[in-house]
Amino acid sequence: MFKSIKWKFILIYFLLVFLSMSIVGIYIVHQLEDIQLEMSRKNMEKRIQSIIYSSEVLKTKEWSENVDEIQENFRSIQISYNENLYVILNDEQKTIIAGSVEDIIGQSAFNTTSINNYIFIKSLTGTAQYTVPPNQYEEIEGDTETPIFYHMSYPVKMDGNIKGYIYITNNIEYIYDTVNKSMEIMTQATIIALTITIFLGLILSSSITGPIKELTFKAKQMSQGDFDQKVNVKSNDEIGQLGSMFNFLIDELKNSISSLQQEKSKMETTFKYMADGVLTVDINGNIIHANPVAKNILLLSETEEKYDDVVKNIKGDMVLSNLKDKSYHGTEILEKGRETYNVDYAPFMNNQNEIGGVIIVFKDITEQYKIDKLQREFVANVSHELKTPITTIKSYAETLLDGALEEKQIAEDFLNVINSESDRMSRLVSDLLRLSRMDYEQTKWKKEKINVGEMLGQVAKKLHIQAKNKNIKMHLGNIQDDIFVLFDRDGFEQILLNIAGNAVKYTPEKGNVWIDAFRDNNKINISIKDDGIGIPKEDQLRVFERFYRVDKARSRELGGTGLGLSIAKQIAEAHNSKLTVNSEAKKGTEIIITIPEHS
């Protein structure tokens, strides 16, 4: 209950009034008690003085010689119901010679309970003594409570000598009755004041906490995303000004949120559809934002993941600690499978102008990287392919110049080698020129309707002698006469010769080569299959790359340039066709040419 400011306000108000009333009441009651006691003391002192001055015998004569006269005179004094008076002679026994209680007359003041010995002894010094009781009641003989008395011992002097003492006790119960009654009145007044305080506190606190509760409720609605909130302003005081400012704040907040949402929408659309991957990581390694491209690159799931857990599986040296060592600023090359990315990263600042994390951008440079790599490999391969025959030609020519021309047989053999290497260089240059023209789309294809069966028969005849020299059997399938394709004749023939020639070239002696063609869903599939050395699985995706050879030493030995399949693939793609490789190492290879049918 006291968690509410309303009840806290009432409690504080209640305690404030309670403490104020209590302090005031206690102070007034204590002052009243002190005043009453002081008045009683003064009255007692005046009473004694009036008794002394009204009696000649007490005032002028020797008390020890006039005891009877003092007693007679004392009987004429009117004694109040609440007081007792005693006349004590200043002799050795301090004898009571007169008093309102006749039973103790003649006794020593030290031997009676009606005389307070402490007060009386102190008055022997010659000064009046009195006592104020510490408690309202004194307990006598068990639980019996008797009224308390105010005691005063007054020395009577003559010529500087003490003749005796007037001792008076006054019942002051009425004073404490008055004090208690005053306390009751103050208690009742306090209760009434506290009741009124609680009632007024409820009204006052409700007038304050009501608008605050409304503000709290509206703020809660806003925290849940509902910004269509307004508070009712019912006054012009501070609470009303707070409500007005709240309404103004809501209007400004709605405008700001609308602007932010527009900017956020622009940014999200930009990030979502940009070609580069964007990843935002905070200083603790939590992924704050990732656009679809970045999620695809890093294989991010919908659940929250740590940056290091994701990136260490792709590139371990890109973990956050390594980026921190580089001040969160730099560039990396990331290779993932067959894709290559240029990774740029830079820090961003938080609201305290401290580094809050890092923004990482993944730019796909696969094609550019591949082209650069191919260009480097192409230059290296061309240099290597040309260097070998040039070296051979140069060495044989130098040998001839050194005198080998004189021996006819040796000279002919050397010249045959030089001629063979020159042919090899010529084929290489021709293939390179052909690829260059196709790269720059300078080749003009003369497409015509070609009978597939007839073309395959011509290719088989051209390869017959080469196959016969290796005792390879060529099997030409029973191809239908009505299968036609729209193709450049020379290009079509070169594709078939390159693929079938490779089949014969890389098939061991006494092997087999099968050539066949068939229809499949408006496509013509031409299959060239052998039972040769085959192509390992890891090399099958690269056999169409320029200068790529599965067995480089054997390929050069057999006169291959490494460009045949690359040329075949490029010609096929220019005619909306494709090449497919099916192979298994040491079991053979099948290459299928798929061409749209032309009726």
Q: Quote the tokens at residue 383.
A: 């240099």
The model's confidence at residue 423, banded by pLDDT at 50, 70 and 90, is confident
C-alpha 599/C-alpha 386 separation (Å) is 45
Q: Are strands 473-476 and 512-519 parallel, antiparallel or unpaired?
A: parallel
The CA distance from 232 to 254, in Å, is 18
- Which CATH number covers residue 546? 3.30.565.10
Mean pLDDT of 288-292: 85
- The answer to whether position 52 is within a domain reads no
User: 311 with 422, same domain?
Assistant: no
Cross-strand partners of 476: 515
Distance CA 308, CA 290 (A): 14
Q: What are phi and psi of 558, to 5 degrees?
A: -90, 5
Query: Of all residues in the chain, what percent carry a pLDDT higher than 70?
Result: 86
Does the residue 280 lie in any domain? yes
pLDDT greater than 70 at residue 317: yes
Terminal-to-terminal C-alpha distance of the chain: 93
How far, in Å, CA of 100 to CA of 120, rounded? 18
Taking only the tens place, the pLDDT of each residue in 445-464 is: 888 999 999 999 998 998 88
Q: What is the CATH number of the domain that holds 339?
A: 3.30.450.20
Judged against a pLDDT cut of 70, whether residue 50 lies above it is answered with yes
Domain that holds residue 497: 444-596
Closest CA to 299 of 288, 310, 287: 310
More confident residue, 261 or 211: 261
Q: Which of 315, 339, 362 is the last residue of a domain?
A: 362
Flag whether 331 is in a domain.
yes
For residues 60-80, give the mean pLDDT.
80
Query: Both 424 and 561 in a single domain?
Result: no
Q: What is the DSSP string of 364-401?
A: E-HHHHHHHHHHHHHHHHHHHHHHHHHHHHHHHHHHHH
Regarding whether 510 and 559 lie in a shared domain, the answer is: yes
CATH number for the domain harbouring residue 425: 1.10.287.130
Is residue 234 a contact partner of residue 214, using CB atoms and an 8 Å limit?
Answer: no
Q: Is the pLDDT of residue 316 over 50?
A: yes
pLDDT at 274: 80
Domain count, the chain: 3
pLDDT at residue 303 tops 60: no
The beta strands (E) that lie in 398-522 are given as 447-451, 473-476, 484-488, 512-519
Both 434 and 449 in a single domain? Answer: no
Q: Are residues 551 and 421 in the same domain?
A: no
User: 475 and 354, same structural domain?
Assistant: no
Structural domain includes residue 284: yes
CB environment 489-507: b (16+ within 10 A), e (fewer): eebbbbbbbbbbbbbbbbb
Between CA 67 and CA 140 the distance in angstroms is: 33
Residues 479 and 388 placed together within one structural domain of the fold: no
Position 427 in a domain? yes
Whether residue 76 lies inside any domain: the answer is no
Give the lowest-confidence range in 46-50, 86-90, 226-230, 581-585: 226-230
586 and 472 share one domain: yes
H-run or E-run covering 596: strand 588-596
Strand partners of residue 589: 530, 583
Whether 490 is in a domain gets the answer: yes
| Pair of tokens at residue 389 | 């025959």
Q: Return the number of other C-beta atoms located less than 10 Å from residue 32's C-beta.
A: 15
> Where does a domain end: 385, 406, 438?
438
Give percent above pLDDT 90 in the chain.
11
Highest mean predicted confidence (pLDDT) among 113-117, 365-369, 417-421? 113-117
| 425 & 455 share domain | no
Q: How far apart are CA 108 and CA 121, in angstroms?
A: 13
Number of neighbouring beta carbons within 10 Å of residue 518? 14
Residue 550: phi and psi, rounded to 5, are -70, -45
450 in a structural domain: yes
- Predicted structure pTM score: 0.40
Which of these three, 438, 460, 475, is where a domain ends? Answer: 438
Looking at the structure, tell me whether residues 383 and 415 fall in a common domain.
yes
pLDDT at 394: 79
Residues 480 and 574 in one domain: yes
**Over the chain, what is the mean pLDDT?**
81
Q: Which of 70-79, 118-127, 191-200, 486-495 has the lowest mean pLDDT?
A: 70-79
Q: pLDDT of 512-568, one tens digit each?
A: 999 999 998 889 999 999 998 888 887 777 787 766 666 544 444 544 556 778 888
Residues 461 and 567 reside in one and the same domain: yes
Q: What is the mean predicted confidence (pLDDT) over 77-106?
A: 86
Buried b (16+ CB within 10 A) or exposed e, 190-214: beeebeebeeebeeebeeebebeee
Half-sphere exposure of 70 (CA within 13 A, CB side): 28
